[in-house]
Amino acid sequence: MPQKKPRRPNRAEERKSILKVCGIDISGKDAVIVVLNSADGTTTDETGHFKKLTLHDDENPENVQRFHDTFSAHMDTVNPDAIGLLKRNKGGTHSAGSLSFKIEGILQMYKQKPVELIHPATVRAYKNRAKLNEKPKHKYQQSAFDLAHYLLSR
């Protein structure tokens, strides 16, 4: 009797297979990182000791390269299924500074997986709809934490 070909998962099933995500929020010269893992309906925070990555002296090419290398090495170690970065406002009264755009570009250069830019309004809408009860370990991680939850929900 011939064996059946394994069925390919549909898009919804593929999205549910995402178990580990990384949410990143840029605040000043810091990239705040939260790693969440979801298994059997339980979400665990796997951020560990690596909560923030700071770009010191962004005019020094060695520091910029070190920032990129450190981020890449950490992502290689964590090996998330999805990486999301809160998108920066380009204009208006709440526009981001030039350093945050530089950090955003450096993070987007990660080669192993795409770093997806997510608009903050999308995350706020999800947060209002989902009514999250969980909180991050530190208050400064809230935006990255909410983004990681949003990534898990898709």
Asked if 23 contacts 7 with a C-beta cutoff of 8 angstroms, the reply is no
Pairwise CA distance, residues 42 & 4, whole Å: 33
Q: What is the pLDDT of residue 42?
A: 86
Q: Where are the alpha helices (DSSP H) in 83-141?
A: 98-108, 120-130
Q: What is the pLDDT of residue 5?
A: 57
Q: What is the pLDDT of residue 92?
A: 62
Q: How far is CA 87 from CA 1, 84, 108, 150, in A?
A: 54, 9, 11, 14
User: For every one of its 154 residues, what pLDDT tens digit does the chain have, with 9 covering 90 and above?
Assistant: 566 655 555 544 544 556 899 999 999 999 999 999 998 888 999 999 999 999 999 999 999 999 999 999 999 999 999 999 999 887 666 656 889 999 999 999 999 999 999 999 999 999 999 988 889 999 999 999 999 999 999 8
Q: Name the DSSP class of 34.
A: E
Domain 19-153 sits in CATH 3.30.420.10:
yes
Asked if 67 contacts 55 with a C-beta cutoff of 8 angstroms, the reply is yes
Asked if 55 contacts 99 with a C-beta cutoff of 8 angstroms, the reply is yes
Q: What is the pLDDT of residue 11?
A: 46
Asked if 31 contacts 52 with a C-beta cutoff of 8 angstroms, the reply is yes
**Helix, coil or strand: residue 132:** coil
